[in-house]
Structures are given as C-alpha cells and as structure tokens.
Structure 1
C-alpha cells in the first residue's frame, strides 16, 4: 500500500510536519509558516465551547509579594521592590480529559497565573512539571490527539498514547516524570509549579537574562499512588476542587515560594545543550535557584463559570522587563493560547472582569466585535496616527531584542554538545530511591503492556534503554511479565 501524502486544508502537500519554519536554525518561528498557523488555528477550534486542553480546572485569587531584590535582572515594575504586593488569579487544571473528568488522575497539571500589575496583566502559563513531551509546536495537535479519546472507540487508547511516544523520543524525560511518584498530585495545594519554558528578563540597563520559574509549594509535596488515586476518584471525582475550595474557606491559605534560575543571555549559545529546549531542565549546579517572592491564595471565586471557565491566559501577555525566548514551544503558544480564547470567548474576552486589567488602563484603537463593552467618547478617533491626542506608541520595547540569522525554512534544532533526548531522563531515574523506581516501572509497564503492536513496544523500550541500562532492562522485564500473564 502506497504512503498517503499529508496535506494542508487546501490540499497542498506538507514538506515537513516535525519542524516549524524559523529564521535560521535557532531563530524564532516565522509567521509565513502557513502549515503551522493553519494547524494550530484549526486545532484551537476543534471543541465547542470547552478548552481543547486544560478543560477541567479550579481557580483562586491571591497576591504575590516580593521578598528578594531582583532589580539587577529585570525592570518589571511589580518586582521592583521588596514587600510589594500584586493581586493574582491562578487556574489549576488537568490536561487531557474533558470538563467532566476526574481530578485525581495521572496527568500533568496546568499552573496558569495572572498578575494584575500596574503596567498591564502578566500571564505566566506553566505546568507542575519543569519539562514537556515535545519541543516543536507543529507536533502539539498530534500529541494531544494521541492522548485524547479515540474517535472510534471513544476512550483513551494505550495504542495511540504509546505509539506517539514511540515516534517522539524527546518525550522520554517527561514520561519519566509523569509515570513517577509525582504523576498524581494529592491536591493542587501539594504540588510545585513551573514556568517550564525559558523566558527573558531585561534590566534597566538593557542587559538580557534568560530565566526559568519554579514555584515550590509551602505545604510540602504530596502525591497519590495509582491505587490511592482510584479510591479517591471513586469517593470524590472533584477532589482537587473540593480541597482547594475548602482550604481557602477555612482560612488555610495555600502558598508557594517563587525561585528563578538565571542565565546571562551571552551564555546560551555555548551551553552544553539547547537551553530553550522545553524537554530539558537546567541543572541547579549550573544555575542555582534564586528566591524572588511568595504567592498566597486567599479568596475563592464567586462564580466558577464566570471566573474559572472564562479566565483566559496567554503567555504573550508580557509587561516591560519580561519577554519571550527562542523556545519553539513557547513561540507556538504565544499565538495558540490567545487564539484559543478568541475562539472560545470572543474577540472581547479581555474585557471580562477576570481577564481585565485591575491597575492599568486599556487605551487602544480596537473597536466593536461580539460582546464589546469598552467604547471611547464620541470625539475619540479609531485610527492611528491621528492629530487628536489619541494614544501613541512609547517606542520602548518590553524586552531586549534577540539576534537572528540564517536561511528561512524548517530546521531541526541546532545541535549542542550534550543534546540528546535521553540523558536527563536517565539522570532523573538514577535520582530515584529503590521504592520510587519500583513504582515508576510498574506504572510504565501497566500502560505499555496494553499496546497491541510489538514494534511500538520495542520502540518505547529502546528509549528507556537509551536513558539508562537498568531502567530499560526493568521496564522490558515488567512488560514481558504482564503480557505473558
């Protein structure tokens, strides 16, 4: 049987479905990449009206308080002085299941935080893991399709889950996180949060730094075994929502301490692996954690639909002193997140109370559209430039410019000396205790043994062997034992 040709929606053949078009091998993604934009835009419109991913969520209001001076690294106003507080809203979520899904399942957790700053809203959209399954956004719709319910059987299929991972070796690190002890948090209060991506900070002198965000829970990390989670789902499918709601109502306000890892921008090019690869972590020995402040949640929403379901986050919502990096997954999300909300909630979703700035004044030439509530006076013009004292540009960039070079086109990520898909997964495995390893192996084998194709199993086993010899050997033996039963 001849191989079918992958095409765009207009029928044109797709040359590369693994790599987005960039300005040079390590540069930012190009808007001329019609296949990527069409693929992400179409993907965002596949469900009405719940989120395609992160549908099942819980939220709370609180504040962020600066505890340490970081003005040497960023000119962000809300981080400008110790003791300063900024109002926040956070949305926790599972990723793969639908709005009616259970909370205590093995799945990454969304950790989306909105800072209502004096200079506009800043959205930090991350997860409870420091890494992710893939490194290029062109693969994201396919990844989620493989994890969602199969269109024929109507359920999540191990064949689909593990087949995608078999053909995406970069997922091995995140699989090791997900199948390990932290794969099922006991509650939203008892898990860490991460920005996951690399971001840019710029100080008042214009110096650029790349940063990674780490929110460490002050309640301590607590997780559930597969057996405990199954029992919890049977008792209360909304267990995480119940826990968060009741804790805040009792006045037991959960909190996290924010730390950052900081890399001077000049170091990035010669780092031993690609520092913008979201499937990898920065070793703390290279870039130790530096404390920034604390996040406290102290108020529940009055209406879950209005404030949690309609909460809209976009990693493209930056403030002066904070900007993006060349992280390709982040670059794709800069478009996809805001586009998803324009589809779900309409072009004026930023005027909804939970999304509207609390401290900054919105003043631009955007007009009309569904559910428009913000209008200028009748003397205001709706174009720029004008001669009527309308709002004008500042000329001051939010973050430092990033140099780009090279030929446009779809490129594989540039190779660094330590760039491979397996070494950090192996390092994570070797950090685990004997009991942790036992549970990890059992969790992986429990899913992989259900796959019906031997070649898919063998491809996945090869990834675990490449990460660590003992890791691979134990997974292989466990899978074999379960398949022989």
Structure 2
C-alpha cells in the first residue's frame, strides 16, 4: 500500500498544531504535563526498540515466491507442494547467530536461513541455517551453548575460553565447528550460500504414508566465501555489507534464487541407518538418499519498512501445515516450544496477527485479548470448542500421523556417539589449500584460550577425526603431540 503524506497527527489521529515547541508555563517553563503530544512522542520513543532476538539478532529479509518444479505429491499432501507450477509467496530472513543487532555482517558465524511460506492452509515456517548440521543435538544444552557465544558477565567481552571449553567438552560439536572454521564460515554474500532445514522432518501423503525428509536450498548464484582479511576489513569499513548487498541486488532486479531439494528416507530405515537420522549433528549421505528436486525460490521484492517486516517477522519450526510434521529430533523438539515462546516475549502474544506474520489463510481460533490486539479480536464469534453454536471445530483429516516410540522415561542420550567419522570425511574432502586455511583459522581462534588443558582436549577431537588434522593444529599452537594421549 502506498503511503501518502498529509497532516501530522497524534497516534490516535488528532491533528498536531505545533511539533517544534513543548507546552510550557511561559517561555522558560517548566514544561506542562498536559502536553500529551510531547508525552506520547517521548514514551513511544522509549519503546521503539523491541528486545532484540537472543540469537539471530541482526538480519536481512526479502519477499519472493516459491514455485514447484517437480511432483512430490506421492510423498506429502501439503497443498503448496501439490502441483508443478504452483506458486506460494514467501518471506525470507537471513541472519548472523551470535552477534548483537549492531554487529558486523562479515564475522565468522553460522547464518540463519528462515523461510515463511504463506500457504493456503496456513503459514509454514522452515527455520534453518546455512549449514546442514548444528553444534549440539539436545535442546537442554542450548542456553549453555549460546551463553558461551555471548559476552563475559564481568568483562562484557567475547570469551574464547568459554567457546572452546564448551566445544571441547561437547564432542558432538566437531562437525559444525569444522564447517564454521572452514571457508564456509564467512559467506561472500547472503545470496552466495546454501540453506538447510538442518533437522529431520516428516512428510505424510494423502494416503497417510509417511517418510522422513531433509531440506536443501542450493543457491543458483554459486557458493562464494570471503577471505579472512577482506572480511575483517569489511567489518570495519561496512559492517552492514551483507544487508546492503541483498537490498541492492533486488533493487537492481538481480533477483537471487535457490533450488529446493529434499532427501527422502523410508520410515523403517531410521531403525537401521548407520547414523541416527534424528541427530542434527549428522548428515545423511547423498549416496544413500539422493537429492530430489522440489522447486525454486526467488526473492524479488525488498521490504518497505525494515522494522515492520524484518524485525517483527517471527518464525517457528513448529508452524506446520498438513502433510509436514515433526520428527523425534531432540533439538527440534525443544525448538518447537522455544521459538514461539521467544516471539511471545519479544513481540507479543499476538505476533501472528501482524501483517508480516499474518497467514493468507483464514484464522479461526479461540485466542482472544492480549497486548496489541488490533484486529476484531474474534468479534462476537464463539470463543470455545467444542460448542453447540456453529463455531470452529477440529478436523480429523488434519490429525498428526503417529510414529512408534519405545523405552523407559528418563534423561536419555543418543545411542550413537561417533562424532568423528563425518568431520574426518569432511576434512579429507577439502583441498590442501582449504585444509591449510581451516587449520590456520582454528589455530588463530584458539590462541587466546588461556588453559592448555582446553586446547589439548579440543586437539584430541581433531586428531580422532584425522591424525593429520590434529597434528597440524597442535603444531600451530606449539603443543607436543605426545600430550594428546
């Protein structure tokens, strides 16, 4: 909608007679409390910043569309994937993870890759990263992990001791650490990186048959990364480099695009695959489960207002539509609660009624009231269910499909603790030059760590993944290999 300028008004629509001078008792004052326009301006100004996201605070966003290019209806009954050529509007938010709202874009960090599909059956949010794995695999460790990425409570400085202490005591992090410290740790632009759902999800077709699925968005611009020195220079010269690049590309009609592929695993394979398919620190071999093309995503429209669209955009991996469901991935299970709860705190309990988050599908629920409820608040419709007055009712066809669970209730770890095979394979896939840069990045990041005990513990993980890797890091840190035993 085009915004037209006109007479200045208060927030309640009354015209403003003087926006240059406060109402005072005489020319010297003091200021009168009856100047409600002044009070409103100051009070609103104090509240113009909603609390920033605990993680993924700084980001860029854009509108676009997703178009189905291959028939996947045999795998899922999701309507927006139901036929070739079907287009669904999307909003995508890219972000760094650990930094604050004013941090630099070109730091070494994973990038958030969140897609909101405005489908005719409700919004579907796919909230992932630019990496196929994550640092931890159980949500109970997430607050502790993020604390290590934030600032020391006394010095208010980033703390490499905490970072490497946690990683060295959490060997499941090695796969993601390997990617983070590689060339892929600093993407050249947001357009030149892949995106992943990371977790395993479940697809269910119209006949009730289910499969496990992983999402891969492959950039059509090609993968490009930044040299470490150039990234550091840009962090000082233009800390908003990635935001600017995305905006300018779309503004110049150089629309970025990604092809969406999925890996499909039969339900029964989950019990026999050599890695736990619900462990988000692991990938599925594409030799075992090849990529299947689904569609193409294009971003072709910049936001009109950053705060209204990018900052107030809320994504939750629990925003599903019929045909797409959760898996028992422990990290995903925790995120199903944590993300929506963060939005209720940060933006408000009615965050899904904001224009950027509002579904194109009709919403019929019994949620009422709460702060910032600006719509009809359900009007005079029935506000409970079940009811005898023609109110909204449940739909048996939309029930979540079942899957078998077993075991005793308790705090249980994953069964498979092989944290070294996949990182080792990744290391050996790199060229000699890429391995050299990986080792240099790791050594430079670990030099500030005060305790050799932490360094040695982390080096042991690299060594177990590949002896050459561990030896090279140890040498770079001036440690003796014999100390690794």
TM range (shorter): 0.7 to 0.9
What SS is found at the alignment partner of 2:425? helix
The yes-or-no answer on 1:430 pairing with 2:432 is no
What TM-score results when the alignment is normalised by the length of structure 1? Answer: 0.87
Equivalent residue for 1:255?
A: 257
1:51 matches 2:49: no
Closer, same or farther in 2 for the Cα pair 1:56/1:378, shift >3 Å?
Answer: closer
* Candidates 308, 319, 323, aligned match of 1:321: 323
Per the alignment, in what secondary structure is the counterpart of residue 478 of structure 2?
helix
**3-state SS in 1 of match to 2:397:** coil
CA distance in structure 2 between the aligned counterparts of 1:141 and 1:133, rounded to whole angstroms: 12
How far apart are 1:399 and its partner, in Å?
4.0
Cα displacement (A) at 1:400: 2.0
Larger Rg: 2
CA distance in 1, matches of 2:380, 2:103: 50
Quick one: which of 449, 462, 466 aligns to 1:464? 462
Aligned counterparts of 1:285 and 1:421: Cα–Cα separation in 2: 20
Cα-to-partner distance string for 1:235-270 (whole Å, 9 max, x where unaligned): 210000000000000000000000000001111011
- Does the C-alpha gap of structure 1 residues 221 and 272 become closer, same or farther in structure 2, counting only changes over 3 Å? same
- Over the residues paired in the alignment, what is the CA RMSD in angstroms? 1.4
Q: CA deviation at 1:374?
A: 3.3
Q: Indicate the residue corresponding to 2:375 in structure 1.
A: 374
CA contact (8 A) 2:98 2:146 kept: yes
Aligned residues: 432
Question: Bigger relative contact order, structure 1 or 2, given CA contacts below 8 A and separation 6+?
Answer: 1
Query: 1:312, 1:341 within 8 Å by CA — same for their partners in 2?
Result: yes
Q: Does 1:174 pair with 2:172? A: no
Name 2:193's counterpart in structure 1: 191
Deviation at 1:381, TM superposition (A): 2.2
Matches within 5 A, 1:124-163: 124-163=126-165
Q: Secondary structure at the match of 1:188?
A: coil
1:356-412 per-residue CA deviation (whole Å, 9 max, x = no partner) reads: 002x00011110010112336654221111111000000224542121222111001
What secondary structure, in the 3-state scheme, does the structure 1 residue paired with 2:410 have? strand
The answer to whether the aligner puts 1:445 opposite 2:443 as a matched pair is yes
* Structure 1 CA distance for aligned equivalents of residues 364 and 241 of structure 2: 42
Match of 1:226 in 2: 228
Matches within 5 A, 1:356-371: 356-358=358-360, 360-371=361-372
Contact 1:322–1:398 (CA<8 Å) still a contact in 2?
no
> Do 1:89 and 1:115's aligned partners in 2 also have CA atoms closer than 8 Å?
yes
Q: Secondary structure at the match of 2:249?
A: helix
Where in structure 1 are there 5+ consecutive unaligned residues? Answer: 1-46
**Which stretch has the larger CA shift, 257-266 or 229-238?**
229-238
Say if 2:368 and 2:378, in contact at 8 Å, map to a contact too. Answer: no
Alpha-carbon distance in 1 for matches of 2:145, 2:378: 47
* Corresponding residue SS for 1:396: helix
When residues 352 and 163 of structure 1 are mapped into structure 2, their CA distance, relative to the original with a 3 A threshold, is same
Calculate the TM-score normalised by the size of structure 2: 0.87
> In the aligned structure 2, how far is the partner of 1:111 from the partner of 1:363?
29
**What does 1:207-246 correspond to in 2, within 5 Å?**
207-246=209-248
The answer on whether the counterparts of 2:369 and 2:377 sit within 8 Å (CA) in structure 1 is: no
User: Which residue does the alignment assign to 1:18?
Assistant: none
2:275 maps to 1:277: no
> Structure 1 residues 210 and 150 mapped into 2: Cα distance closer, same or farther (>3 Å)?
same
2:473 aligns with one of 442, 463, 475: 475
Q: Which residue of 2 aligns with 1:35?
A: none
CA drift at 1:413: 1.2
* Residue segments in structure 2 that go unaligned for 5+ positions in a row: 1-48, 481-485
Residues 444 and 395 of structure 1: is their aligned pair in 2 closer, same or farther, counting only changes over 3 Å? same
Deviation at 1:158, TM superposition (A): 1.1
- Counterparts of 1:51-130 in structure 2, within 5 Å, are 51-130=53-132
1:293 maps to which residue? Answer: 295
SS of match in other structure, 1:410: coil
Is the alpha carbon distance of 1:378 and 1:432 closer, same or farther for their aligned partners in structure 2, counting shifts above 3 Å?
closer
Quick one: distance in 1 between partners of 2:181 and 2:415?
Answer: 29
